[in-house]
Amino acid sequence: MSTYLAFQLKKVFKNILTPISLLLVIGALAVVLVMNKRTESDFRLEQMAKTSIEYSEKEIVKAKKTLLTFPKDSKKVEQAKFSLAENKRSEKQDRNIIKAVKAENWKKAYEILWQKSKRFIAADEQNMVGAEKEMALYAYLKNNPLKYETQEMPVTGWQIWMQVNEMYLPYLFAIVALFLLSLLLTDSYRQKLATAKLLPLSNWQRATSENFAGFLLIAGSFSVANLLLFIFASVFSGTGNLAFPTIIQQFVKGKTVIKCVPTGDLILPIIILQIMYIFFIVALTRLLACIFRDKMRTLLVALLVVLGINLATVVADPLKRISAWLPMTYLNAVDVVNGKLGLQYQNGQINFQTGLVVLIIGTVLMITLTAIISSFQEKITSVLFVTSINS
């Protein structure tokens, strides 16, 4: 069985398209890292405070011109007085933030930022959700003062790992993974005949070998891509602090609950869901390969099922209602664990625990269906063979 497994993997890696597709994924991750590195300085606390000061100074100039231009009893003068006072206060706070950051007095910097977020919520209800997220972040940090790490354009090892696995890698790697699995799991079919059945292996041994080979291929490639990204980010910017908070959102009883947890608390659940999803797509692709026995058809249908249903769930209300029970929903493990997906679909059942159960059941179901269909195909082949001999 181990010889058959090694032979399968060797054939896939000898295909020139395999290293090309993996290099494309690694290249895309390298581009993200470089772009983040180039723009990261704009999202540091000090630079954001400087940008805010520039804006406040412009608004102060505008307000002073209004006070000199319009009559004292006009509404514009009242608005200008309010704007002048607010922008002067904001400018002073931003200058204090810069001083606190330079002195590495993170507690004071976060306290000021928390106060600004709190005031912003009262002043602008339209952007309340964004301000509430900021307020939750700075409330956590002022009680647990840590060196600031930007999450908009992250460059440290753990933070960019989180961003890439949330925004880019699930969808990009899903395409590559399904392509590689289609190559691997349809290679044993010749003219739609299962040549692997000629080997001295039982159905159980062949199924185990093919599933294990698929898992090793995809999990190994996925791990290498992530590991290279993490290593390069860590070399240039450090690994980052696992205690630094990540904002999570939960949809509970029709309401949005926002809170912060250490990034380290999310890593293990994310990796577990990713592993289970790889098991699922391996089992799904093997089922499709057993049905179609053709690379292109298997790949196209796999893409339609995995990515098509995942994207359709965003716009189709009937799918949204059952999204928690669809294995395809859990493609983006980061969005599941941090609660964004549950909030987006307004479905509190989309969480780590449900995802784990659904993916396990889905994987077992795919393996069972493959065994049933394979057995049925063997019987049909035997009947046809006997019929052809008799005739």
**Residue that terminates a domain, selected from 122, 147, 172:** 147
Same domain for 199 and 317?
yes
Q: What is the rounded distance in angstroms from the CA atom of residue 76 to the CA atom of residue 156?
A: 47
pLDDT tens for 68-102 read 887 777 788 888 888 888 899 999 999 999 999 99
Same domain for 163 and 308?
yes
* Structural domain containing residue 128: 104-147
Same domain for 131 and 262?
no
Who wins on pLDDT, 204 or 141?
Answer: 141
Cβ contacts of 164 within 8 Å, gap of 6 or more: 29, 32, 226, 229
Same domain for 368 and 231?
yes
Average pLDDT estimate for 125-133:
67
Helices (H), ranges, the chain: 2-14, 17-39, 45-69, 75-102, 106-123, 128-143, 157-167, 169-186, 203-237, 264-292, 295-303, 309-315, 317-321, 333-337, 340-344, 352-390
Q: What is the rounded distance in angstroms from the CA atom of residue 315 to the CA atom of residue 364?
A: 28
Return the residue matching tokens 């009947």. 383
pLDDT tens for 326-371 read 999 999 999 999 999 998 888 889 999 999 999 999 999 999 999 8
pLDDT confidence tier of residue 16, bands split at 50, 70 and 90: confident
Same domain for 175 and 249?
yes
When divided into structural domains, the chain yields a total of: 3
Same domain for 23 and 78?
no
Q: Are 359 and 277 in contact (CB under 8 A)?
A: yes
pLDDT tens for 54-69 read 999 999 999 888 888 8
Same domain for 96 and 108?
no
> pLDDT at residue 156 above 50?
yes
As a whole number of angstroms, the longest Cα–Cα distance in the chain is 108
CA distance readout (Å), 21 to 84, 175, 384? 57, 10, 40
Q: What dihedral do alpha carbons 36, 42, 44, 48 form, nearest 10°?
A: -150
DSSP secondary structure string for all residues of 121-166: HHH-STTHHHHHHHHHHHHHHHHS------SSS--SHHHHHHHHHH
pLDDT tens for 201-236 read 556 677 788 888 889 889 999 999 999 999 999 999
Phi, psi of 342 (to 5 degrees): -60, -40
Mean of the per-residue pLDDT values of the chain: 86
Same domain for 80 and 201?
no
Average pLDDT estimate for 35-47:
92
Average pLDDT estimate for 144-156:
92
Same domain for 216 and 255?
yes
> pLDDT at residue 124 above 60?
no
Same domain for 165 and 200?
yes
Looking at residue 385, what is its pLDDT?
Answer: 47
Same domain for 129 and 232?
no
Same domain for 115 and 206?
no
Looking at residue 193, what is its pLDDT?
Answer: 46
Residue among 247, 269, 274 at smallest CA distance from 258: 247
> pLDDT at residue 192 above 80?
no
Q: What is the rounded distance in angstroms from the CA atom of residue 238 to the CA atom of residue 136?
A: 25
The pLDDT > 90 percentage for the chain reads 56
**Residue that terminates a domain, selected from 113, 147, 181:** 147
